[in-house]
């Protein structure tokens, strides 16, 4: 392994770096509310983006639920671009900003495979509250406006 210095562009989001474990709750107008456990990893390789993965699992069985993977790009003056692939058949292109220890992004486009659910929009907020990393995800679907979907809090493992 080569030790790689943090790209200076990443300083505003360096608070994300590491592995985080936590729990969350999901809801949507069309489904029964649910709870989950999860792990988030934010890593870097010296370039001006953060590598992101999240995997969630059922609290009772430990079986995998949702996963996603992508990249948070720092493109100057607090502006961020978030590209995320999801195994349920879609990919988000989102834009937003980092302000203090908080990142807010909104989709500018959602790419979907023919078998994906008709997700049309996603907004994500992610913020550090003391030592706790919290996020909130809102989702819109065909016929349903942007609505509260996920809320979770995580603690750093390393």
- Judged by the rule CB under 8 A, the positions of this chain that interact with a copy of itself are 2, 4, 45-47, 49, 51, 53, 55, 62-64, 67, 69-71, 73, 75, 81, 83-87, 89-93, 95, 108-115
- Shortest approach of a copy of itself to residue 117 CB, angstroms? 13
Closest CA to 27 of 133, 147, 118, 114: 147
* Beta carbon nearer to a copy of itself, 113 or 143: 113
Burial class (CB in 10 A: 0-12, 13-18, 19+), 85: middle
- Do 153 and 134 meet the contact criterion of CB atoms below 8 Å apart? yes
Structure tokens, 78:
């607090």
Residues in the chain: 158
- Shortest approach of a copy of itself to residue 30 CB, angstroms? 21
- Shortest approach of a copy of itself to residue 71 CB, angstroms? 4
* Beta carbon nearer to a copy of itself, 3 or 31: 3
Give the C-alpha separation, 55 to 20, whole Å: 11
Structure tokens, 86:
């999801």
DSSP assignments along 5-57, one per residue:
PPPGGGGGGGGG-EEEEEEEEEEETTEEEEEEEEEEEEE--SSSEEEEEEEEE
* Beta carbon nearer to a copy of itself, 20 or 82: 82
- Shortest approach of a copy of itself to residue 129 CB, angstroms? 27
Closest CA to 134 of 107, 86, 111, 102: 102
* Beta carbon nearer to a copy of itself, 86 or 120: 86
- Shortest approach of a copy of itself to residue 3 CB, angstroms? 12
* Beta carbon nearer to a copy of itself, 70 or 140: 70
């Amino acid at each position: 392994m080569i030790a790689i210095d943090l790209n200076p562009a990443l300083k505003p989001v360096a608070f994300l770096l590491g592995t985080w474990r936590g729990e969350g709750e999901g809801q949507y107008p069309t489904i029964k509310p649910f709870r989950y456990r999860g792990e988030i990893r934010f890593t870097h390789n010296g370039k001006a983006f953060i590598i992101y993965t999240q995997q969630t699992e059922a609290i009772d069985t430990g079986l995998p639920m949702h996963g996603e993977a992508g990249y948070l790009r720092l493109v100057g003056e607090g502006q961020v671009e978030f590209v995320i692939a999801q195994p349920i058949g879609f990919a988000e292109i989102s834009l937003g900003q980092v302000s203090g220890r908080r990142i807010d992004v909104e989709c500018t486009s959602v790419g979907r495979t023919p078998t994906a659910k008709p997700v049309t929009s996603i907004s994500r907020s992610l913020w550090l509250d003391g030592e706790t990393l919290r996020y909130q995800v809102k989702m819109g679907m065909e016929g349903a406006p942007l609505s509260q979907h996920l809320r979770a809090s995580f603690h750093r493992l390393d």
